[in-house]
Chains A and B, each alone.
Chain A
């Protein structure tokens, strides 16, 4: 009873007690999507171009009484002169999402589930990032991008990450930062050499020690995040987290009626605070 079988076939009891399962409202009767994805990206107030890029894709195969929601979310924050940053981030998300669609989604549609699930998901996500790395490396030596991606399958989110964009998990008012910034300043904070406040204004706060498009060897960080019912997965670029506090993120998301509204309001909030950088926010709400 593999994962992909569950995606497209009727599965045996998901819950321990059949009684409770029947008592639960079947997903097919829920009017709103079980997985509500919102996205917003803005140039901000200070920049001339938006060098952020993003990708969202969500799917729900409705052939089963218990469809497994799927989603793919990605943000990238490019850097480099002469509009190369834009090119880097958009190429990175296109190439990386292409790999995941090819390696995961297409085999599922072609009813070759074994193909999709025989490879470790971190390998697939890692390949997505290394392919993006190769593509971006070909643009120009001084071009790079961050890349943070999340593949949601049911209650599991598989993440791969390079750079200082972030993924957060928000559950019952608690915001947890899943990813670690690949910035020198973040390392200094971890070591207790500087405080979080000092990091905020550190002259080298933007210096990354790892990014997509900077040479042959690139190691991405990978994570598995369990998603509880009612929780949110949030991906964003530093244009959000540099301007908006974690508490504000919690408040805005908690008081928005949809993921889209939350994403829009977070972008607005970042602009209100200055909008020094491009801002991109993706939010997925898990209602199942």
Chain B
């Protein structure tokens, strides 16, 4: 396994930290890197022109023109201590040992006395050594060894070139954040590079040690330092130097808080317009590097990727490449300010031209981010509830009891039910009452409007059809139980459930029954209708799918607990929440669950699907956005109370009420709060959006109309 680059300095440095737990972490990570990196090489290795015998051992030999990503170089390492998690292959260690590592006490050039083996790196090893020309002080150095007599000459040549390149580049540089090079010599068919021994911890190891993301101030401080050293490299004379391998494991943090860039094995003297080979570390490298383009702005991308990793703890090597924008930093780490997120976002754009033009520009913006928070740490930890987050309503309308239903909006009229037993019709613009219709029971069922008629159920067991213009009754449909399920209109029929266990299909015009279906338990969930299916949940935890015309059962799926969430049908799936804490995606054709997303609270909130995303709330206080096909979490937003209200959507925003009394407006893509509106009681009904206004009822007996636009 002959990677040409040095992985060695990393290990040398961190060994200096002499923290064994730290080492353990580091080595474990390296082992998994190795496996991952190998995979890519494996495919290259089996190219038909490769030497079958050597391909597995010497993957580079098969693709000599395509040097491989430096950080992904398989660097096999023997387990340094008893840490069982290190998985360096034993055979590998054994073979390398045969090739003779230097032993402690051995001297090179009669000057460098080997102290200990640090790691295997490149085609040789890295040692900690003492420079004995300084007899009275213990001057420690890192000695990188390169064995040049490997069977395969091509690999050997590439490795040697890389090794020499690192030596040459380092020798030409002088910067406090770059290791000094002391010596370079050949001895016994091996080549040695003696460099400054950096004491400290690399940022990857540091990140692995903590179980929370790193704080913004620290990360920005390092980023500014990294900008300084990149500025130095990019303005190097006669030609700029592109580092090409910025990543947490190549940044050493000294004990004094200063950073040092290590591993210049693949740094490149930049010649404008010239294409080279792909080299770098997958996950951190910019897209253009895969086209063989290495230029200074690529380092800014990799720095951005590094900052993203440090702030989120999301390892980009474990994710599909170039997916940073799908994972906004603040979704992982809300203490990061939107300003910093924006700065990093700009470094991570796919097109070179869209990034910062230079490190100075980036540094300037980073400093700007740092300034407002410096000296007042507390601001980083509070939610960024800025000035615009509280709003005043356009109007409000008070009933005599709680509003728990979702209002319906139609032709500038707003219909809402209340526990005060009435259904109200209001002017949507002003909140002025047009009429009200009183029943004998609370109206929690959400009204449905069709053909100049509003349909709603009441706890007095009756479903009402009322003229929208006059508020006069058209027909009623009595059942034998309270009606909490909300009616749905489709195919000129009204479908709704009752506590009498039945789901009814009745003519919207006459109220005449088409069919009824006995679900075996009260039906409080509202039906969803799509094509030939009607789907609803019942209190015994079942999801039923019926033929919408005949009312005959198509399938039934049993969840763990009662089902009050209204199903949503989108594409080939039915999405429904259960009090067993899960959101289910069922195959509409047969009811088989395709996926299930578990939360930590009952899911009473009805899911909403927009595009390929399902939004829903849970009693665990969170609002969730989940991938509709796969059920993977996209983001979640924490409120301060159970979320039974269902999300509403408009123009890229999601509106959800919480039992904490607030209506939240969230960015549908990122889950970031755009603003919120406080009411005087828990919100259990859902909001509706129309004409730039969001309407929501609260248990404080009031219906509110709030403008979506700021400044009203």
* B287 and A80 contact, CB distance less than 8 A: no
* A154 and B589 contact, CB distance less than 8 A: yes
Contacts of A81 in B (CB 8 A): 42, 45-46, 52, 55-57
Shortest distance from the beta carbon of B244 to any chain A beta carbon, whole Å: 16
Interface flags for B280-314 (1: CB within 8 Å of A; 0: not) read 00100001101100000000000000000000000
Contacts of A144 in B (CB 8 A): 39, 42
Question: What is the bound-complex CA distance between A32 and B584, given in angstroms?
Answer: 37
Question: What is the bound-complex CA distance between A236 and B591, given in angstroms?
Answer: 29
Question: What is the bound-complex CA distance between A204 and B554, given in angstroms?
Answer: 49
Asked if A204 meets B66 with Cβ closer than 8 Å, knowing A80-B56, A120-B596, the reply is yes
Query: Is A135 part of the binding interface, using a Cβ–Cβ cutoff of 8 Å?
Result: no
Shortest distance from the beta carbon of A164 to any chain B beta carbon, whole Å: 9
Interface residues of A in 168-214 (CB under 8 A from B): 182, 184-185, 187-188, 191-194, 202-204, 206-211, 214
* B589 and A16 contact, CB distance less than 8 A: no
Contacts of B630 in A (CB 8 A): 122, 221-222
* B46 and A85 contact, CB distance less than 8 A: yes
Question: What is the bound-complex CA distance between A16 and B573, given in angstroms?
Answer: 20
Number of interface residues of B (CB under 8 A): 61
* A204 and B594 contact, CB distance less than 8 A: no
Asked if A209 meets B320 with Cβ closer than 8 Å, knowing A203-B66, A204-B66, the reply is yes
Query: Is B391 part of the binding interface, using a Cβ–Cβ cutoff of 8 Å?
Result: no
* A120 and B555 contact, CB distance less than 8 A: no
* B290 and A79 contact, CB distance less than 8 A: no
Question: What is the bound-complex CA distance between A244 and B291, given in angstroms?
Answer: 25
Among the interface residues B320, B350, B596, which one has the most CB atoms of the partner chain A within 10 A?
B320
The residue in chain B whose Cβ has the minimal distance to the Cβ of A184 is B321
Partner of A141 from B63, B89, B318 at Cβ < 8 Å: B89
Among the interface residues B555, B590, B629, which one has the most CB atoms of the partner chain A within 10 A?
B590
Question: What is the bound-complex CA distance between A122 and B88, given in angstroms?
Answer: 34
* B590 and A156 contact, CB distance less than 8 A: yes
Interface flags for A26-62 (1: CB within 8 Å of B; 0: not) read 0000000000000000000011100100000000000
* A6 and B40 contact, CB distance less than 8 A: no
Query: Is B411 part of the binding interface, using a Cβ–Cβ cutoff of 8 Å?
Result: no
Query: Is B43 part of the binding interface, using a Cβ–Cβ cutoff of 8 Å?
Result: yes
Query: Is B254 part of the binding interface, using a Cβ–Cβ cutoff of 8 Å?
Result: no
Contacts of A84 in B (CB 8 A): 56
Interface residues of B in 122-152 (CB under 8 A from A): none
* A117 and B291 contact, CB distance less than 8 A: no
Interface residues of A in 83-123 (CB under 8 A from B): 84-85, 114, 117-123
* A121 and B593 contact, CB distance less than 8 A: yes
* B592 and A117 contact, CB distance less than 8 A: yes
Asked if A79 meets B287 with Cβ closer than 8 Å, knowing A119-B593, A156-B592, the reply is no
* B590 and A3 contact, CB distance less than 8 A: yes
Interface residues of B in 562-605 (CB under 8 A from A): 572-573, 584-585, 587, 589-596
Contacts of A268 in B (CB 8 A): none
Query: Is B87 part of the binding interface, using a Cβ–Cβ cutoff of 8 Å?
Result: yes
Partner of A1 from B89, B550, B554 at Cβ < 8 Å: B554
The residue in chain B whose Cβ has the minimal distance to the Cβ of A137 is B35
Shortest distance from the beta carbon of A134 to any chain B beta carbon, whole Å: 14
Partner of B572 from A12, A153, A154, A226 at Cβ < 8 Å: A226
Partner of B593 from A120, A184, A226 at Cβ < 8 Å: A120
* A188 and B592 contact, CB distance less than 8 A: no
The residue in chain A whose Cβ has the minimal distance to the Cβ of B285 is A184
Asked if A184 meets B554 with Cβ closer than 8 Å, knowing A122-B595, A224-B587, the reply is no
Shortest distance from the beta carbon of B66 to any chain A beta carbon, whole Å: 5
Among the interface residues A48, A156, A182, A202, which one has the most CB atoms of the partner chain B within 10 A?
A156
Partner of A153 from B288, B552, B592 at Cβ < 8 Å: B592
Interface residues of B in 617-675 (CB under 8 A from A): 629-631
Query: Is B75 part of the binding interface, using a Cβ–Cβ cutoff of 8 Å?
Result: no
* A1 and B555 contact, CB distance less than 8 A: yes
Contacts of A82 in B (CB 8 A): 56
Question: Which residues of B are at the interface with A, using a C-beta cutoff of 8 A?
Answer: 32, 34-36, 38-40, 42-48, 52, 55-57, 63, 65-66, 87, 89, 278, 282, 287-288, 290-291, 318, 320-322, 350, 532, 547, 549-550, 552-558, 572-573, 584-585, 587, 589-596, 629-631
The 12 sampled A-B contact pairs (Cβ below 8 Å) are A13-B550, A46-B48, A81-B52, A121-B594, A122-B630, A156-B572, A187-B321, A188-B290, A193-B290, A194-B291, A215-B35, A224-B594
